[in-house]
Amino acid sequence: MNTLTPTQAVQLANLAYKAKSIKTTNLLHRSLHASLRDNFNFSVNPGAVQGVTGGFFSHLFNLSTGFALVGHGLGDYQGDSVITIRGTNSLRDGLTDGHLGLSGGSNGSMVHAGFNKTFYSMKPALQEFVEANIKDKVTDCIHLVGHSLGGALATLSADWIKAEYSLPVKLYTFGSPRVGLEGFSRAATSRIDKIYRCTHGADPVAKVPLWPFSHAPYSGQEIRLDNGQGLKGAAHTLNGTPGYINTANSNNWNNLTVKANHFLSTPVRLKFEDRNQASFNAHWSDKLSAALITLLKDAGYYSAVAAQAAIGTGLTFYDMLARTIDKIAKASASFAVQTLGLLGHMLVFAGKVINKAVELTYSFIKWVFDSTLGALYRAARDGLNGLG
């Protein structure tokens, strides 16, 4: 089964953006990166994909109004096809408003409602494309590629195509946010043939939404393309510095750094007096999530909170979570100490100064959550501002 090189994958992600300003097939091919030119064929005309005309397909894959491009393999990639999806500003607010909007995904698990709504609007066009390929016996690997919010849509698309058609599917994402809860992440990980999840160390978009959302591959690995520190919107871009186009410029995945994601399965208990060790970076974003999960598990609330997140409540998820943490803190002195340690580190992460222990009330706990979410989502929004 063929695999795209890192350079090909990131150039395909970039092509989904570039294509908006290209009006003809000839101009599109002239703009292709050298790594793609002899390996994939693209068309601005939906009719060029055999068996597919007009309708949903025309809307989704139209260069000026759509946000995805499809192509077919040539040469060594003969029999393969590619779908590349760009990020869109229309999804930005739903990702960064801090609310836990969920809906049932195609694999039966809960996913981000905004991503899911957009995916379902795309689904008829994807169906036409894949079924036309099957009719034409173009049934080797389907490569799905996306940057940013496009990575989230590519993830949903890859999972659905694999489940629906049992074709070989590989997924390549750059700076993708989390898409669904643990159930979705586990199902997608077991189903999709290979997932290449690429990140920058300081990319805030790859850190949202927070738990209970989970990345795919579940408890797997990410390909960390740089050693960026902090969390900065500029680290999310394809171009510029560091720029995914620059950091993924390689012909071999083995040349890139693989980072294991072990925090969420490792117990983390934090002490208030150590709070100033925290800082606003990806490492501490993960570690704080792990510490929260540890507290919930230690107190016996983890399963109930996770289940409540999946079915939804009248309260926002973080209101419900703050009330739960308030109960835990009041249950015993040791849980109060553990809670204070978590909250102290969260405040330092968010750039707040806390010099002494405070009374643990629902209002204080909710303020800490709001402060932490606000800091992270502001950085993510900054990273998303440049999307078209």
Give tens-digit pLDDT for 4-41.
999 999 999 999 887 666 667 777 788 889 999 999 99
Does 88 share its domain with 165? yes
DSSP states of 223-289: EE-----S--GGGG-SSSSS-HHHHT--S-GGGSEEEE--GGGS-----GGGGGG--SSHHHHHHHH
Lowest mean pLDDT among 58-62, 256-260, 372-376: 58-62
Does 181 share its domain with 277? no
Does 225 share its domain with 303? no
Does 187 share its domain with 81? yes
Q: For residue 312, is pLDDT > 70?
A: no
Among the candidates 261, 278, 298, a domain finishes at 261
Does 233 share its domain with 291? no
**Do the strands 169-174 and 110-112 form a parallel or antiparallel pair, or are they unpaired?**
unpaired
Cβ pair 142, 163 in contact under 8 A? no
Does 126 share its domain with 206? yes
Query: Which helix (H) or strand (E) is 348 found in, with range?
Result: helix 333-349
Portion of the chain with pLDDT greater than 90, in percent: 62
On whether residue 244 sits in a domain, the answer given is yes
Does 334 share its domain with 298? yes
Residue 319 CA: distances (Å) to CA of 184, 363, 371: 24, 10, 13
Q: How confident is the model at residue 66 (pLDDT cuts 50, 70, 90)?
A: low
Q: For residue 48, is pLDDT > 50?
A: no
Return d(Cα 17, Cα 169) in angstroms, integer.
22
Supply the pLDDT for residue 267.
92
Does 129 share its domain with 184? yes
Positive or negative, the CA dihedral 196, 201, 205, 211 is positive
On whether residue 210 sits in a domain, the answer given is yes
On whether residue 1 sits in a domain, the answer given is no
Q: How confident is the model at residue 261 (pLDDT cuts 50, 70, 90)?
A: low
Q: For residue 81, is pLDDT > 90?
A: yes
Portion of the chain with pLDDT greater than 70, in percent: 86
Token match 């553990």: residue? 338
On whether residue 102 sits in a domain, the answer given is yes
Per the document, the length of the chain is: 388
Q: For residue 47, is pLDDT > 70?
A: no
Report pLDDT digits (tens) over 140-166: 999 999 999 999 999 999 999 999 999
Does 59 share its domain with 199? yes
Q: For residue 46, is pLDDT > 50?
A: no
Q: For residue 383, is pLDDT > 60?
A: yes
Does 47 share its domain with 107? yes
On whether residue 291 sits in a domain, the answer given is yes
Domain count, the chain: 2
Q: Residue 187: name the closest of 150, 223, 156, 165 by CA.
A: 156
Regarding predicted confidence, which is higher, 260 or 371? 371
Q: For residue 87, is pLDDT > 50?
A: yes
Among the candidates 221, 243, 261, a domain finishes at 261
Regarding predicted confidence, which is higher, 196 or 117? 196
CATH number at residue 190: 3.40.50.1820
Q: How confident is the model at residue 331 (pLDDT cuts 50, 70, 90)?
A: very high
Q: How confident is the model at residue 266 (pLDDT cuts 50, 70, 90)?
A: confident
* Domain around 59: 6-261
On whether residue 239 sits in a domain, the answer given is yes
Environment class of 20 (CB within 10 Å of its CB; exposed 0-12, middle 13-18, buried 19+): middle
DSSP structural state of residue 141? P
For the chain, the average pLDDT equals 87
Q: For residue 55, is pLDDT > 50?
A: no
Supply the pLDDT for residue 54.
41
Does 202 share its domain with 103? yes
Q: 54-68, 124-138, 305-319 — which one is most confidently predicted on average?
A: 124-138
On whether residue 67 sits in a domain, the answer given is yes
Among the candidates 261, 292, 325, a domain finishes at 261
**Residues paired with 102 in a beta bridge:** 112
Does 250 share its domain with 296? no
Supply the pLDDT for residue 23.
67
On whether residue 109 sits in a domain, the answer given is yes
Q: For residue 51, is pLDDT > 50?
A: no
Over residues 117-136, mean pLDDT: 89
